[in-house]
Structure 1
Amino acid sequence: MDIRQQILHIHGGSAFNSYDNYIRNLKKWNISIDDESQSKHWSRNYYSFLFEDSFQCIVPTMPSKHNAKYLEWKIWFEKYLSVLHNDVILVGHSLGGTFLAKYLSEESFPVSIKQLHLVAPVYDYEDDEEELADFRLADFPGKLLDIHISEIHIYTSKDDDIVPYTESEKYHKQIPGSSLHIFEDRGHFLGEEFSELFENIKKVSS
């Protein structure tokens, strides 16, 4: 059995209340032929900051991230549950954070959670380009408070132009004992550096 500390990371995505909204936004999105920006995202570089012999980082590609459906993500996510062991670390960025919050508030979880990290998660905010569709929280925090989670960290930045920092404040108010980390200049946390999150993870093995 692999005894390394497990980290399961759920990336972000876009959800829409209707197919027409998806098509409208698809027409507006710009393309990029430079893949380097994606490879430099902090979520792609866990092993650059954490020792591979101490951590097992699981970063699944969730289905249809440009037109995400909660049920599809739930089905795919649950395929990974059988390989998790107690004291797993869960990390969710943007819609991935919303997904984890919704899932943990509605479903039982098979193992204990050492840390839950929600990075720029959406709570109930929607605009012309960002919608929640079936990722919308129904009865939060619900079952999340019954799950054994040792630490809950929420990260937000005041200059995030995609998800307002007030969304993270809503989560913080709903989750007793959670830690809210507010930055001034991280935007939507799309850069290469995120030392604060990695330092919090490293504390598990210290």
Structure 2
Amino acid sequence: MAKQVLFVQGAGEGAHARWDSKLVACLERELGETYAVRYPQMPGEDDPHYSAWRAALIREFGSLEDGVLLVGHSIGGTILLHVLAEHPPKAGLGGLFIIAAPFIGEGGWPSDDIGGRKDFSERLPPSVPIYFYHGADDDVVPTAHVQLYAKAIPHAVIRVFDHRDHQLNNDMSDVARDIRSMG
């Protein structure tokens, strides 16, 4: 049976179909047939609201299997982290992989919609491997945000790539390698 991967898209007009679909296609290619990537379209991608995305993610969590691997891109990664801290799924997580996510709170971006969190380390299961990825040439989310996550979640693995943009140049090989390392 294929290992389950849930990919949470980023935001912006056409993000699901035109942008993050390239990340998903690369991830599927890199992982091969032993993984099944689910890629639901999030509501209102051009103007995301935390409450709507939280509700959609909680619905998705209902069909997850033990060992599921969660991947989130950009604001989708940010929202995924916040939802996991508030409403962890019943299924045991195999790993969490966050790409180019903005940090909400002190030093990061302000948000009237998403509250800043300082308790990620206490709220996320300590046994779940967490990886953050960021392109050094990201012109959407500054690399300082990944360093804020490193402070908030000290046990997370941080990977910053030279000459990679907000979409990691549509190259998910490093993410796939870390996913495969989960066994």
Which of 36, 41, 44 does residue 22 from structure 2 map onto? 41
For the structure 1 residues 109 and 135, does the alpha-carbon distance in structure 2 shift closer, same or farther, using more than 3 Å as the test?
same
Matched, 1:173 2:154: no
Residue pair 1:63, 1:73 contacting (<8 A) in 2 also = yes
Alignment partners' CA distance in 2, 1:8 and 1:101: 13
For the structure 1 residues 177 and 7, does the alpha-carbon distance in structure 2 shift closer, same or farther, using more than 3 Å as the test?
same
Residue pair 2:97, 2:131 contacting (<8 A) in 1 also = yes
2:171 aligns to what? 193
Q: CA RMSD in A?
A: 2.3
Residue pair 2:9, 2:73 contacting (<8 A) in 1 also = yes
1:116 aligns to what? 96
Query: Any stretches of 5+ residues in structure 1 without a counterpart?
Result: 15-28
Larger radius of gyration: 1
Matched, 1:140 2:119: yes
Alignment partners' CA distance in 2, 1:39 and 1:105: 24
Alignment partners' CA distance in 2, 1:203 and 1:85: 19
Which of 23, 33, 50 does residue 31 from structure 2 map onto? 50
Alignment partners' CA distance in 2, 1:41 and 1:190: 11
Cα offset for 1:160? 1.1
Alignment partners' CA distance in 2, 1:105 and 1:78: 12
> Percent sequence identity over matched residues?
25
Q: How many residues align?
A: 178
2:41 aligns to what? 61
TM-score in terms of structure 2 length: 0.86
1:88 aligns to what? 68
Residue pair 1:121, 1:168 contacting (<8 A) in 2 also = yes
Alignment partners' CA distance in 2, 1:68 and 1:157: 23
Alignment partners' CA distance in 2, 1:133 and 1:46: 33
Alignment partners' CA distance in 1, 2:150 and 2:96: 13
Which of 52, 77, 95 does residue 97 from structure 1 map onto? 77
Residue pair 1:41, 1:190 contacting (<8 A) in 2 also = no
Cα offset for 1:202? 1.5
Residue pair 1:155, 1:182 contacting (<8 A) in 2 also = yes
TM-score in terms of structure 1 length: 0.77
Which of 141, 147, 159 does residue 163 from structure 1 map onto? 141
For the structure 1 residues 58 and 115, does the alpha-carbon distance in structure 2 shift closer, same or farther, using more than 3 Å as the test?
same
Query: Any stretches of 5+ residues in structure 2 without a counterpart?
Result: none
Residue pair 1:70, 1:134 contacting (<8 A) in 2 also = yes
Indicate the SS of the match to 1:79. helix
Which one-letter code corresponds to 2:164 in the other structure? R
Residue pair 1:40, 1:191 contacting (<8 A) in 2 also = no
Alignment partners' CA distance in 2, 1:143 and 1:80: 23
